[in-house]
Structure 1
Amino acid sequence: MKFRRPGGDEPELNLIPFIDVLLVVLIFLMLSTTYSRFTELQVNLPTANADPLKDRPAEIVVAVAGDGRFSVDRQPVDGRSVEGLVAALQEAAQSRKDPVVIVSADATAAVQSVMNVLDAARRAGLVRITFAAQHGQGN
């Protein structure tokens, strides 16, 4: 028993028109797509426009230099350890009632240095902490 058709060739699938259509779609997508690069993150720091306070006797200003050095009320702190900063903050807070710690960090200071100031203030029992900002230019 022979079930094949006599003289019939096997059907062939022509892929060339299919590939042509895919190439046209690919070229259309390449030309219509916009590519944007995010090479850096633009950050605009806030500015303070409030009127300056006249009486600030309970402020403790902690300055953080770009290389990680600290100073408390313009007095340099020996070393860069948290323990030394805790001692300096406790000494500065002794004569003040309910002091406010103002962190004034350099723009190039490492985030870890600022976190060390926050940790030292917490260890010294100082809970009122704020950050210094640049004064606005009349915005």
Structure 2
Amino acid sequence: MKKPELNITPFVDIMLVLLAILMVSVTVSTYQEKNVNLPEGSKTTPAVKKATITITIPNSSYAIVNQQKIPLNDFLENFNLKYGNFNKNALVYIAADKNIKYDTFMKVYAAVVKSGFTQIGLLTK
């Protein structure tokens, strides 16, 4: 009598499909949190350094710095209080909605520069 064999090929196929679905759903849920319409950028390879400070500017009234809302009217003072003791060589990413005014973006950018940070990256799509 012939011994039955265990065929694991269908099992491996199903696991690979489930893994692909999991990877796509995690990526989508991670990037749906930010409701910012970024401008188009150049098609270069993304930076591999991990940002220490991430600033998101969804509109002209506030900015989100590492998931904390900071009003833009006193952004410089609040940013210096919370992040003034960070390493000044730390990488800072700024993601601004493409519909905000240039003046609003420059106010945040100038505050980061005045705080002493030298490595500032601008996020695009």
Pick the TM interval, shorter chain. Answer: 0.5 to 0.7
Aligned identity (percent) is: 16
Q: Which has the bigger relative contact order, CA under 8 A and spacing at least 6?
A: 2
Which ranges in structure 1 are unaligned for 5 or more consecutive residues? 1-43, 135-139
How far, CA to CA, are the matches of 1:103 and 1:124 in structure 2? 14
Runs of 4+ in 1 over 6 A off after TM superposition: none
Shift of 1:101: 1.6
* Secondary structure, counterpart of 2:72 in structure 1: coil
Which ranges in structure 2 are unaligned for 5 or more consecutive residues? 1-38
RMSD of equivalent CA atoms: 2.5
Partner of 2:69: 76
What number of residue pairs does the alignment pair up?
A: 87
Kindly name which structure, 1 or 2, has the bigger radius of gyration based on alpha carbons: 1
The code of the aligned residue for 1:46 comes to: G
- Structure 1 residues 52 and 127, CA gap change in structure 2 (3 angstroms): closer
How far, CA to CA, are the matches of 2:109 and 2:123 in structure 1? 14
More helix by share: 2
Partner of 1:62: 55
TM (norm. structure 1) is 0.51
- Structure 1 residues 48 and 60, CA gap change in structure 2 (3 angstroms): farther
Which among 92, 95, 101 is matched to residue 92 of structure 2?
A: 101
Which among 33, 37, 45 is matched to residue 40 of structure 2?
A: 45
TM (norm. structure 2) is 0.56
